[in-house]
Structure 1
Amino acid sequence: MLAPFVGGIYYGSLIAGLSATARGHGRPVIAVQTSSAAADLAIHGGDPAFNSPVAWDHIGGFVVFADAAEPEYLMRTVQSGRPVVLVGHSLEAMDSPTVLADNAAGIREAVEHLVREHGCRRLAFTGDFAATDVRERHEGFMAALREHGLEPGPLLPTENNLESGVTWTVDDFVRQGRPDALVAGTDLNAIGAQRLLARAGLRCPEDYLLTGFDNLDLAGFVKPELASVEQPLQAMSSLAVDLLLRRMRGEENSPETHRLPARFVPRTSCGCTGFALALPTLEMDDERQRLFQRLSAVAPVEFSRSGEVTSAMTRATSLTADGLLAAAAGDTSEVRPAVDALRVLLDAHPGQETLRVICRSIQEYAAALQWDDAPSARRVDRAVLDMVLLLGRVNNHAQLGNQLHLRSLISTSYALSAALLHRRDADPRDPAWLALTPAGAGSIALRGPDGELRCTPGWRRLPGPAIPDGPISVEGFPPVEVIDAAGLEHTTFVVRAKVGDSDRGWLALVDRVENRVEDGRDLVNQCAALLTIALDLRDSEEHLRRAAHRDLLTGLPNRSSFTMSMQAAVEHGRPFVVLFLDLDGFKRVNDTLGHHVGDELLAHVAGRIQHCLRHIDIAARFGGDEFLVLLDGMTAGPELDELIERIQTAISRPYVLSGRTARVGVSIGAAEGGPTATLERILQDADADMYRAKAAGRALRGPVGSK
């Protein structure tokens, strides 16, 4: 499965439906996020940076959601021999089935409602036209206006599909007279528009009517409650899995487009009564059929194609009606089964609005029944009250569960931040920090300087085969052991560990689908982003640490670092010698050839000094054209004299710098160190000995400086 984001209400709901259907077919799911971990939430047409065949070795077929990848990438998937099904978008060049919500029909239903029920004559549209589905919704909007002979009001483009995308002004909205209604391409655009207009004193629905699209849970809680078009998200992804598996089995599967119905949900913002304070009139005499229609109104739109859930609505209707009849006779044993049946509908479309419609539908049904005696009526009233209270308790538990879940996510995010960004004993490369999350297993593939991927040792919560480390191809990531750890109950998520220009590689983890975090900033994205930032911080700290102890020009240790090495040698108690080197003739090179050539010369001198030393010796730049050398375990004698002569000879050879030839000499002083010597005294002795050598115009001879 390819999607711009692997969480959030929209993509998360699609993935939840896909995973559930795939599970029923015994197929594991790999959910690949094509956007980087910290990508802008407004993605259109696919991220050009996503061109990697990640996980292709494990994939038998692709379900591709809208804006997941550019057409060129999708064509590569088809050319690889892996079948593809598109969801939420279409591509004419691809011979692949497409599953779409009927965007145009949903918007047309909203426009029909505004025109016929509320007499609107001038309607405006707002949305992000970079998104293919919003363009389709606008086309349906225009078609509906043409059918009624109406001219469109202002067209108000947004910068993205979120509240922040509404950047047009109130003047744009009322330039040619205030529209009767505003139709938005998404719920979040609608909410952003309503808040912008409210700041200018325009009230909804008193001054204008408003509709959105997507029917987010938020739509029923904002003020005014937002009328919206509901998409059959889970049904879309479920159908996509069915179509893909048919192609994977080699069955004939035409590349036709499958459009599933969307449904307009009226609320306060379109001028209707919100939260089921008054149920719409239904002209029918059969009270059971009326109850069935009421309950059908709260079912998700995809239930219209599901015989199983239609059966659930029929069962809920029958058990509710029979339970009330039994209660009238004094038998309350049927109340609980009726509540359990109604709970199926509430669980399918949880929320305060669904609860109120169900409760008022029960009350309406009970009120329409005729009773011969007052005790029966009282028993029915009591049964209705019990049903309402029990359903309310169910809804409260669900809301409490959501609150606890979000609190848990906040706590987890805090713990992850503390572990990855602040604790120095936790290595970000070791995915054991995933134990702080609900994840079941994980693997990290980091990109080396050569661009090759290498897995760090994997992590798993439960016993099982070890998740291997070592070199891996992008096609082979994640390791098969991660996918096996997911089984069918969980999903394997793959997200690029990329924040801004920092592209570290990939993170794979095993978890359940998250569709309760509205903006898509779910845990897997936080993990990948924090991993990237933590690695960047560690590298920055290492760079600063090195910079604090390194000379930037020559790459040698600086004076501070050299002093620490001397201190360690003193504490170790072994003999050592310090050489103090000062270049002869360096100023002449600087003055005649320029400082940039002088810098180049110093870098060459540093290299020649290191070439003369043993691997245990340390060379450093003292400053300017002066260098220091620490010779571990050495004392005055022929070996030292030979080394000094070798250094002098190496440095005195000609240098070719920027096309010019230059020569310098070097004066070298030496001082022996020991357990009783102070660092300052050793450096003073070596410096003094160097000046004696420079004054004599000779190489170091005779005894070295005192201990």
Structure 2
Amino acid sequence: MGTVRRGAANVIPRRTIGVLSPVVGGFYFGALIAGIARAARNTGHRVVAVQTYPAGLDRERYPDEPLLEVPVALGAVDGLIILASAVRQDRLAAVQEWGCPVVVLSTDTVGPNVPVVVPDNAGGVRAAVRHLIDHGHTRIGFIGNPAQRDIRERYETYLAALAEHRIDQEWFEETADNHEQAGADAASRFLAAGLPTTATVAATDRNAIGFLRALRTAGLVLPRDHAVIGFDHTDSGARFQPRLSTVDPHNDRVGALAVDLLLAQLRGEAVSGGVHRAPSTLVIRESCGCGESGVRDEPGTTPAGARLLHLADTGFAAPTSVTDSRQIDDEARERWLQAVVEPLTAAAEQGRSPTGPALSSLARLTSARRPHPETLEQLIAVVRDLEWELAAGSDHLPTLYRTGTDVTLALTKGCTQPLLARSGYLERAIADQYEVDLDLLRGNGGGPRALTWLPRAGRGAACLGLWTGPAVGDRELEIVGVDDSSGALARLVGSRSRASQFPPAAMTRAGTGTSRLTLVLPVTSRGSDWGLLAIEGTVDTRMTSGRDKYNHWATLLAVALDHERLLGSLHDQRQALAEAANRERALADTLRASEERYALASMAAQDGTWDWDVSAGTVYYSPRWKQTLGYGEDEIGGTPSEWLDRVHPDDRLDLSAAIAAQLGGSRAPLEIEHRVQTSSGDYRWMMCRAVAVLDDAGCPARLVGAFVDMTERKEAELALRRNTLRDPETGLAGRVLFLDRLGEALERARNRPGDYDCAVLLARLVEPPVRADVRREVVRRLQLVLRDGDSAARLRQDEFGVLLEDVRPDEVRIQEVLARLAAEPALGVAVGVLPGIQQFKDADDALRAADIALLRAQTRASVPPR
């Protein structure tokens, strides 16, 4: 084991310690970070913990390598502590070149001068194997995933422990990972092998719980049929039935030892490389076979005092720091022991009952030492045994028994207070999470970038940086949002920094020595990597999984940013479509107005008049009006229905509305086009113009108008409109419409430089004579590759244009169009490609460039242009 040689009174200023960790929460990584943070806080230093794996991991399946790479956080800290698998192994090999002191945790040795801190895996497993052998087991198995250094060491110690006890039969089942399902899979193979062992040591508690659950489902009675000891001392093991015996690696002590070694390096002291170990403890519950009958040992079998001393060492959480707090923790241990023993001793020897303040002090001391879930029942048994031992020579038994009850109640209060505090914490966490979820999903406040969605209660400073540069090297971040009650960080918004300098010094240096640490998490969702979120907080060390609230926040933030980007894109597309529709409508209206003026002027001499007497309900139709519909003078009566009943059903509503407007007092003259059925049954287009004649009271008395047959001109107008905007033979857009859409695309490209571009392709049939079926085949092939937003047009007799929306010069879609047209050489198609349009001033300029590209393509193919 490595040692630290301390210099004489070397004192270092307050520093920032960086931590690189796969995740920043959970019983393992969270406990390591918590131990680091507490040890740093006790010595006046600050911690920045950076998560190197994506937020929102899918069922905790870690990817093959980290998302973030060094130099993230390297420039913002004075020393680094690297947790297992947080950095790629090839980058870890160059750790001594990073320019700052480094300590690594639970990984293979990376160099002769780099300290490696691990829990006492060997001592813990050796104690577990010995305990199972003491229960009479000689067929003991091991399950775990030896890919990680700690678990590999646990397995090797398991083999050595069997050899030490001259047991030559071993059974090993490798698991896929450290979680429950992998343990259950190992149990399935164990059952299929015919139960080759009677006891198992599991490399992790989660493996052990999955293993036990599968055995119990298969009908085994535990621990009678099979004993199991895990490794990690998780709360989930204490909740399982039978409760899981386990090895406590004291992860917070491992983190604290890493801080001691790092600070020694910063002080200039000599720190040996190699492995440094923090002690582990075997925690006995029921899954190993202890207490299976439910009957405790008879009083006096094991001296109660010795058992109380053992509980003082193993029944409570580890000290907050290995060096600076050891003396404080030893003093707290002695005060607690004294608070338990003295009232019982005084009651037995002097008949004196403990005072209320003394009992309250015992409760406070018990709570402050953070008892484990199973500690209370063990304490109750020890107190009862102490009563039994003290009662042997006491003359004050009533007082002794009453004091025993009072001490038990005080210990119960001290042990339950942390559980109540935990329940309160979980309730607040759920409420905070609900608030965060709603704010982010609803887009409340100033949007996700403003960080106003963070919980209102108990939040520290926060800073959000989004990537601005490419995903290589030391990437650049832009600070887009801060949250700081003091307002000191507000000036950072809009500034930029490298990833190695994030979080900014204004956040990490201010408030050094407070009770908080700074966590840095990737803002990621499934396919998005937005940047980094730095937030002051505390880690939850009691979650069995690594899915802490900060990971959840970072993932939801990424989803909210995805949603924001999607809404912005949809808004831009909708606006672009609306503008295109307006331009196309204006183009059609201009054409219609021009043609209408021509039609009205040419038909002025052919009017058929009519006069509607509104009060009498009769209409006079002129002979010309009747001839227009193919009727003789006597074939048309004098009622409005002679006209209105012959109106095309699709036009009746508009005509009725126009007539009603006139009768309602409209000042504008009536002017409407509609179709009327002739004597032959066909419909002809008529232009109807009319004005209202008012009576003395100002009410419409008559409608007088003219009827003009404009069928030929209307059909010519419709055909002209269709042919202007659409090619009648192919159905593709015409040249005018294509140029309009190309101009629109140019406008979008200028508004979004570097983010949007289009491609233009010209295809020309060059093998005369061009048959109609060949032309149709080319059109068919073009339509197969068009997507939403693309345009295809017939520009000349045998020339076609294609506008591909939102592509880059290397876009494979261009190649797809070329492949479609070149798939059949017999078609004789030459294609010119304009891969981008951003540099052109207008649509005509771009089309000319595309035409030049087409001519060059023809020249290269040695095909004479038409």
Normalising by the smaller structure, the TM-score range is 0.7 to 0.9
The whole-number CA distance in structure 1 between the counterparts of 2:388 and 2:45 is 49
8 Å contact 1:45–1:68 — kept in the other structure?
Answer: no
Per the TM alignment, residue 107 of structure 1 is displaced from its structure 2 partner at its CA by 1.1
- SS of match in other structure, 2:270: coil
Residue 26, structure 1, aligned to residue 47, structure 2: no
Structure 2 counterpart of 1:384, from 396, 401, 404:
404
What does 1:217-256 align with in structure 2 at a 5 Å threshold? 217-256=235-274
1:481 matched to which residue of 2? 506
Structure 1 counterpart of 2:851, from 631, 656, 659:
656
From the superposition, tell whether residues 227 and 284 of structure 1 become closer, same or farther in structure 2 (CA, over 3 Å). closer
From the superposition, tell whether residues 177 and 404 of structure 1 become closer, same or farther in structure 2 (CA, over 3 Å). same
Per the TM alignment, residue 217 of structure 1 is displaced from its structure 2 partner at its CA by 2.0
Per the TM alignment, residue 212 of structure 1 is displaced from its structure 2 partner at its CA by 0.6
8 Å contact 1:319–1:334 — kept in the other structure?
Answer: no
1:504 matched to which residue of 2? 530
The whole-number CA distance in structure 1 between the counterparts of 2:274 and 2:427 is 44
1:570 matched to which residue of 2? none
8 Å contact 1:230–1:262 — kept in the other structure?
Answer: yes
8 Å contact 1:99–1:258 — kept in the other structure?
Answer: yes
Per the TM alignment, residue 337 of structure 1 is displaced from its structure 2 partner at its CA by 3.1
Per the TM alignment, residue 56 of structure 1 is displaced from its structure 2 partner at its CA by 2.1
8 Å contact 2:463–2:535 — kept in the other structure?
Answer: yes
The whole-number CA distance in structure 2 between the counterparts of 1:584 and 1:19 is 74
1:519 matched to which residue of 2? 545
Q: Which residues of structure 2 form unaligned runs of 5+?
A: 1-18, 590-719, 752-788, 796-840, 859-866
2:424 matched to which residue of 1? 404
8 Å contact 2:235–2:542 — kept in the other structure?
Answer: no
1:268 matched to which residue of 2? 286
Code of the aligned partner of 2:51: Q
Residue 118, structure 1, aligned to residue 135, structure 2: yes
Query: Which stretch shifts more, 95-104 or 40-49?
Result: 40-49
Per the TM alignment, residue 590 of structure 1 is displaced from its structure 2 partner at its CA by 7.9
8 Å contact 2:516–2:538 — kept in the other structure?
Answer: yes
Structure 2 counterpart of 1:460, from 477, 484, 500:
484
From the superposition, tell whether residues 94 and 105 of structure 1 become closer, same or farther in structure 2 (CA, over 3 Å). same
What does 1:539-550 align with in structure 2 at a 5 Å threshold? 539-550=565-576
Query: Which stretch shifts more, 260-269 or 209-218?
Result: 260-269
Structure 2 counterpart of 1:165, from 150, 159, 182:
182
What does 1:148-547 align with in structure 2 at a 5 Å threshold? 148-166=165-183, 168=185, 170=187, 172-178=189-195, 179-273=197-291, 278=296, 288=305, 291-300=308-317, 306-328=326-348, 329-333=350-354, 336-337=357-358, 340-341=361-362, 343-370=364-391, 376-423=396-443, 425-436=445-456, 438-448=458-468, 452-464=476-488, 466-469=490-493, 470-488=495-513, 489-547=515-573
The whole-number CA distance in structure 2 between the counterparts of 1:599 and 1:70 is 58
Q: 1:609-662 deviations in whole A, cap 9, x for unaligned?
A: 67799x99xxxx9987599xxxxxxxxxxxxxxxxxx98966884733874589
8 Å contact 1:186–1:212 — kept in the other structure?
Answer: yes
Code of the aligned partner of 2:194: G
The whole-number CA distance in structure 1 between the counterparts of 2:550 and 2:293 is 35
Residue 127, structure 1, aligned to residue 144, structure 2: yes
Q: 1:178-226 deviations in whole A, cap 9, x for unaligned?
A: 1201221111111111111222112211211111101112222210011
Per the TM alignment, residue 6 of structure 1 is displaced from its structure 2 partner at its CA by 1.0
Q: 1:114-136 deviations in whole A, cap 9, x for unaligned?
A: 11x22112222211222221111
The whole-number CA distance in structure 1 between the counterparts of 2:446 and 2:424 is 28
- SS of match in other structure, 1:481: helix
The whole-number CA distance in structure 2 between the counterparts of 1:564 and 1:291 is 92
- SS of match in other structure, 2:434: helix
- SS of match in other structure, 1:212: strand
The whole-number CA distance in structure 2 between the counterparts of 1:271 and 1:105 is 21
Per the TM alignment, residue 88 of structure 1 is displaced from its structure 2 partner at its CA by 2.3
Q: 1:421-477 deviations in whole A, cap 9, x for unaligned?
A: 123554111122224463211111111365642111311134545351222211221
Q: Which has the higher contact order (CA 8 A, sep 6+)?
A: 1
TM-score by length of 1: 0.77
From the superposition, tell whether residues 562 and 66 of structure 1 become closer, same or farther in structure 2 (CA, over 3 Å). farther
2:609 matched to which residue of 1? none
Residue 89, structure 1, aligned to residue 95, structure 2: no
The whole-number CA distance in structure 1 between the counterparts of 2:843 and 2:121 is 82
Code of the aligned partner of 2:531: G
8 Å contact 1:4–1:68 — kept in the other structure?
Answer: yes
The whole-number CA distance in structure 2 between the counterparts of 1:565 and 1:270 is 86
From the superposition, tell whether residues 289 and 391 of structure 1 become closer, same or farther in structure 2 (CA, over 3 Å). closer
The whole-number CA distance in structure 1 between the counterparts of 2:497 and 2:790 is 44
From the superposition, tell whether residues 70 and 359 of structure 1 become closer, same or farther in structure 2 (CA, over 3 Å). same
1:606 matched to which residue of 2? 741
Structure 2 counterpart of 1:559, from 549, 559, 581:
581
Q: 1:646-685 deviations in whole A, cap 9, x for unaligned?
A: 989668847338745899xxxxxxxxxxxxxxxxxxxxxx
8 Å contact 2:319–2:329 — kept in the other structure?
Answer: no
1:136 matched to which residue of 2? 153
Per the TM alignment, residue 40 of structure 1 is displaced from its structure 2 partner at its CA by 4.5
Query: Which stretch shifts more, 39-48 or 200-209?
Result: 39-48
Code of the aligned partner of 2:505: V
Code of the aligned partner of 2:150: D
Per the TM alignment, residue 351 of structure 1 is displaced from its structure 2 partner at its CA by 3.5
From the superposition, tell whether residues 103 and 657 of structure 1 become closer, same or farther in structure 2 (CA, over 3 Å). farther
8 Å contact 2:33–2:255 — kept in the other structure?
Answer: yes
- SS of match in other structure, 1:57: coil
The whole-number CA distance in structure 1 between the counterparts of 2:736 and 2:296 is 88
Residue 4, structure 1, aligned to residue 45, structure 2: no
The whole-number CA distance in structure 2 between the counterparts of 1:441 and 1:411 is 20
- SS of match in other structure, 1:541: helix
- SS of match in other structure, 1:433: coil
8 Å contact 1:220–1:275 — kept in the other structure?
Answer: no
Per the TM alignment, residue 533 of structure 1 is displaced from its structure 2 partner at its CA by 0.7
From the superposition, tell whether residues 495 and 590 of structure 1 become closer, same or farther in structure 2 (CA, over 3 Å). farther
Per the TM alignment, residue 39 of structure 1 is displaced from its structure 2 partner at its CA by 2.4
Code of the aligned partner of 1:501: G
Q: Let me know the Cα RMSD of the aligned residues.
A: 4.0
Per the TM alignment, residue 589 of structure 1 is displaced from its structure 2 partner at its CA by 12
Per the TM alignment, residue 280 of structure 1 is displaced from its structure 2 partner at its CA by 9.1
From the superposition, tell whether residues 522 and 622 of structure 1 become closer, same or farther in structure 2 (CA, over 3 Å). closer
Code of the aligned partner of 1:38: G
1:577 matched to which residue of 2? none
The whole-number CA distance in structure 1 between the counterparts of 2:250 and 2:280 is 6
Percent identity, aligned pairs only, is 28
The whole-number CA distance in structure 1 between the counterparts of 2:120 and 2:586 is 72
The whole-number CA distance in structure 1 between the counterparts of 2:430 and 2:302 is 50
From the superposition, tell whether residues 522 and 560 of structure 1 become closer, same or farther in structure 2 (CA, over 3 Å). farther
Q: Which residues of structure 1 form unaligned runs of 5+?
A: 568-579, 628-645, 664-707
Residue 99, structure 1, aligned to residue 120, structure 2: no
